Structure 1
Amino acid sequence: MSPFATFCLRMGDNALILGQRTGEWCGHAPVLEEDIAFANMGLDLIGQTQLWYGLVAEELGQTPDRLAFFRGEREFLNTLLVEQPNTDFAHALMRQYLFDAWHLPMLEGLSTSSHRGIAELAQKAVKEVRYHIDRSRDLIIRLGDGSAESHQRMQEALSWLWPFTADLLARDAMDDALVAEGVIPEGDGIAAVFERETAETFARATLTAPEGPRRTGGRTGNHSEHMGYLLAVMQSVPRAYPDARW
């Protein structure tokens, strides 16, 4: 698989899996406003997935639907962060914010990509993601610097999820090849923006990012124990009725 196809799958898989996790809150969020907001963000992410898969469907000989519903766990290239479960609403909010803090500078960099299809996709998606991070950042600050219970829940979520952010910032030879061609931005710039954004937000939220080991692997198909269960739910209907037409 080419570096271009690998990158597009990584971006599309991130959006798909987080969209699935986000959609799990539909009808279950603690207040109606958050229920609607999470559903809307999930729809944004699924729409972005369709665009990313569309860029490589012909090269891979697959349709976007088959890429989503008929690949196995090790074939998905999303980061470990997005597949982490909805332990509670604090975890869902923190997972969303950490992803947004990386996703926005990535899309801003991709908006000037030498690849026209990627540039056009990023220019469209970045408008949605600016809303996503404005919302998630505000909630992280309000709850982190809120009551004793909300602070504790947000800190516990951060302590659990922070190690997985290393997977967002990881780079390999395929990324380097695309950087050299001007297709994607350099990783150091994305990491610098991510670190500045999260440091400023956590200071305002009175939260502390933990030190210790960081986890990677999802970008190369090595997932956490949660991924298989997520796919079993997400893919169950298309696999049971593969020839169905909607």
Structure 2
Amino acid sequence: MYTCFDLETTGLSTYHGAIVEVAAIRTFADGSTREFCTLVSPHCEVESGAFRVHGISTTEARTRGGQPREVFEDLQEFIGDSTVIAHNGIKFDVPYLRTEMTRHGLNIGNNRVIDTVRLARHYLCAPGESAKLAALCARCGIINERAHRALADTRATLELFKLILKTEPDLDTLWKLSGSVSMMDLGGRHEFHKAISDAIIHGLDIEINYKSQGKPPRRRWLKPRGFLPDGNGDYKFAAHCYDSQAEKNYVIGRILEILGTRKSS
């Protein structure tokens, strides 16, 4: 069947941030469900703005949270090969999860992704109405007493999705309306994404031929740090440039070729 999931994070940046809580609810053909929820120990501090939203402190996450790699492995096992449902999952949750998994040496699955933001605009929103989770819950009579905590938001997303299923029960149709994308797509659809991801996982430098805007192509050695999602997924990455001895961001689409790799010094 399908699995709804939600994340809470230290902040919006996947490069500088980390996941502090993850929850998932898996549904089965007999109508039963299973829940998964845990805090995650972050490598960085929870930003003040994020704390005001979800109330999870750095101390709480590090004291009570599991180690990221173990949590993400358990989450993958829990999800299995089911279709993944997330509210704003295409723009935020799935790219964030993939970047975090890459940081900890893991590859994300190729599960189909259905985004309830996109479906809500089609099935539940009048023109001009908000598709934010809180607004949808208020209009649809869904009680979410612990909004912005992962399990509560996952339960709310599940209830919204059930409403959508009453209108359109076919998952294939809903997946197509949501954009026909997979979790693997949302870490980067570009051909060079895997090479960059592998370099991050294995601690490698990469040599690229890169075309900066308004400048001729130039070769350079980089140490990739992490991916930076734009509105549609990961199309940029942060890296240390050995030529300039500076931290920079690079647009994956401007890479002309990847020339080689080496073990980072």
Q: Do these two structures clear the TM 0.5 threshold for a shared fold by scoring above it? A: no
TM class by shorter-chain length?
Answer: under 0.3
- Structure number with the higher strand fraction is 2
- Structure number with the higher helix fraction is 1
Q: TM-score, normalised by structure 1?
A: 0.26
Structure with the larger RCO, 1 or 2 (CA within 8 Å, 6+ apart): 1
